[in-house]
Structure 1
Amino acid sequence: MTREEHLRRWSAAHGGTSASPLVRVWLDGVRRAASPLAAAGVPPSAVTVLGLVLGLAAVAPAAAQAQVGGRWALAVPVLLALAALADGLDGAVAVLGGTASRGGAVLDAVCDRAADAAGLAALWLLGAPALPVLLALGLGQMHEYARARAQAEGMTGPGAVTVSERPTRVAVAAMFALGCGVYPQAAATWAGVGAWAGSAAALVGLVQLLVAVRRRLSAQR
């Protein structure tokens, strides 16, 4: 499949959203990585589940550092990054292999939410207070639910690309977990700041999305 065809199918799968130059570079890299998997007949659902397993696995090194010390948290950003890569690959494998399905989209969404929770759980285990962790988790879930509900009501596309999309959630959890690993003596501080940063971004992103949804649905009446 050519680069242009892949971009066209990606846009169609995302409600006609145009890919920015940065997204185009990412999609081109993902297409190249996914091509051998699609050619080998690897099911996209298998890649989706692999991403979930990698995301959930990030909890283990966080728990290990909390219990025995050391720099176990250095493994957290690696696992979260691999999980994010798998999250991008599954859709590309589905598009390139012509196996995209509604069931696969639902599985992908469920696994993404579970992986988001795992990243926040890692920060909690590393010392973040429960309050910002729960706020970040709840607001992030509301963000995705609001978008899905608006699309069910007829909104096309994502409504708005906010400051708290999944790449931001992954980046925040990974970056501050890295700080916990590099500076284990200040792990609780790094984890706490990360959780509060995640909750603040989630709140701003939710407001951005709700404003955009209201405008889009009002315009479609």
Structure 2
Amino acid sequence: MKMNENTLLEGHKVMLVPYSAEHVPRYHEWMKSTELQQLTASEPLTLEEEYDMQRSWKEDSDKCTFIILDKRQWEDSGVEEEQCMIGDVNIFLTNPLDLSLAELEIMIAEPTYRGKGIGKEVTHLMMQYGVAKLNIQKFQVKIGLDNGISIAMFKKLQFQEVSVCQVFKEVTLEMMVDESVRTRLRSCTSHMRERDYRLSRSSRRDIMSQT
């Protein structure tokens, strides 16, 4: 999505940055994992297909994607950005007749970062961005039935279970964005800073070149 191609969202533990071609090799290595393929209901792609997918996520108006970075690592000027990658988060506008409906997906690809509250923070940041910038009024998540940790997290975030599909072995949860949800999201993301990604990355590279 063009809207977020120069957007950096800064949280307490993470930075969300646009998915660029430089991120593809690391992402491609992640997706060789059968565990991640199962968790994301994805098929393995060749590296060239992964580059094609990255370009579509950047260009298509119905997809909004950010790469999740470890903020602490990213702030270390001696670490390349690709080494800071820990996952990704996406919003898909699944119904062209209803652009207020969004399917939310989050993947913490690096196992050592799971169970540390990062998924919760990323979800709040992405939902607030979707509400404020894309006018999303209903979020939907589809999670494999064997992914109990993710199901529990979204239920704790007050998503409601609406259906279970035994054929695809997944559960669908939803949240309507009413005023109470808007208020809660603003409170949970009051620390969030939106920055220009190009300027932030340029400044970081300048610091790295001087060390």
Q: TM-score, normalised by structure 1?
A: 0.29
Greater strand proportion: 2
Bigger radius of gyration: 1
- Highest relative contact order (Cα 8 Å, sep 6+), 1 or 2? 1
Greater helix proportion: 1
Q: TM-score, normalised by structure 2?
A: 0.30
